[in-house]
Amino acid sequence: MATELQGLDQVAPVIDAARIIAVLGAHPDQERPAFYVPDYLHEQGYRVLPVNPSFAGQSLWGAPFVATLTEIAEPIDIVDVFRRSSLVAGHLVDLLAMRPRPRVVWMQQGVRSPAAAAQLVAAGIDVVQDRCLLADHRSLQRRRQK
């Protein structure tokens, strides 16, 4: 049963199990979180697939940008969302059309869409809202080094 995951203990298994992360709103500008968060994840060994129609045809992290999530033809563990909260609901059609569906939709820190989250959970997709994947990954690494 899908749920909204909260707290480091709930997101830890997601981070540990993930191998492929699609980054909705990925950006090549190294100063933007939509670059340096997925860049960090790539450096940690995750396969990162950039999604942004503005950069289709370019590549980052060894993968070509695609314009939409539905262009990804492989299983995705996490869709990491770097979009304004007000725009998340506009991606529901693509998120729900993905085959297979992603295991988790992770809305980055500052991004919340309770209505979209409820629809994703109802469709069987776990949701994380308003959390930074980079910060949570680092916190888990520090916790495990103690």
pLDDT tier at 49 (50, 70, 90 boundaries)? very high
Instruction: Look at strands 78-81 and 47-51 and give their pairing.
Output: unpaired
For 78-134, the pLDDT digits (tens) are 999 999 999 999 999 999 999 999 999 999 999 999 999 999 999 999 999 999 999
The phi-psi region of residue 128 (left if phi > 0; otherwise alpha if psi is between -120 and 50; otherwise beta) is beta
- Which residue in 74, 54, 66, 58 sits closest to 23, CA to CA? 66
The residues, ordered by sequence, that sit 6+ positions from 77 with a Cβ below 8 Å of its Cβ are: 14, 17, 18, 19, 20, 21, 102, 103, 104
Sequence ranges of the domains in the chain: 4-145
Which of the listed CATH numbers 3.40.50.720, 3.40.190.10, 3.40.366.10, 3.20.20.100 matches domain 4-145? 3.40.50.720
| pTM confidence score | 0.96
